[in-house]
Amino acid sequence: MAQKTLDFYFDYSSPYGYFASEMVEALAEKHGRVVVWKPFLLGIIFKQEGTQSLISYPMKGPYSKHDIERCSGFYSIPFQWPSVFPVLTVNAARATLWVQQQHPDMAVPLIHAIYRKAFSEGADVGQVATVIEAAESIGLDPDDVSKVIRSQPMKDLLKTETQAAMDRGVFGSPFFFIDGERFWGVDRMDMMDAWMTRGGW
């Protein structure tokens, strides 16, 4: 019997996605599931929906920034704002998709390395050099990563994955699927825990 999954859609620009990335594996393991990591481009979906980054709104923005910083303390996960925010995540997402294909055992370490570069160290992961640093820190060849970031196959794959996310109804990060049930936001992880424990309600 195939192991059950917990699908985790994320964009490296999302602080809430970062917090979720630090906790999702433990949650999946608790319930005998495996995390399926799904990078996509949130900016494309924002354009489709006519929305934008939370911190970009005049009233919602200041609250969202404070809430993100508050979540760091609540979850006991280190956090600092990147030097550039919101951040462009095309390069990081392409690198991740390539590693998932070519070096699957290194994919999750790379995801953590990139997210921590952004939100633990405050680096700009929109820069190719920063993505390469993250990749190199886990033992990947920097030249290989530099090439694939610019490659047409990875550009096309990221577009395909983002469209697939939209087709599935993903509109934010983090976004989760558990046996077809959708959950949006790191603050839904307790509900996800209860859902899997009870088998729904």
Taking the C-alpha atoms of residue 33 and residue 3, their distance in angstroms, rounded to an integer, is 6
Q: How far is CA 138 from CA 29, 58, 97, 133, in A?
A: 23, 39, 16, 9
Q: Where are the domains of the chain?
A: 5-198
Give the whole-angstrom CA distance, residue 37 versus residue 6. 9
Q: What is the pLDDT of residues 63-109, one digit of tens each?
A: 999 999 999 999 999 999 998 998 999 999 999 999 999 999 999 99
Look at residue 1 in the predicted model and tell me its pLDDT: 67
25-34, 47-56, 58-67, 80-89: the lowest-pLDDT one? 47-56
* Per-residue pLDDT band at 55 (split at 50, 70, 90): confident
Instruction: Output the average pLDDT for the chain.
Output: 95
- The whole-number pLDDT of residue 51 equals 78
Which pLDDT belongs to residue 117?
A: 98
CATH second-level architecture of 5-198? 3-Layer(aba) Sandwich (3.40)
Q: What is the pLDDT of residues 159-181, one digit of tens each?
A: 999 999 999 999 999 999 999 99
Under the banding of pLDDT at 50, 70 and 90, the label for residue 2 is: confident
Portion of the chain with pLDDT greater than 90, in percent = 87
Give pTM, 2 decimals. 0.95
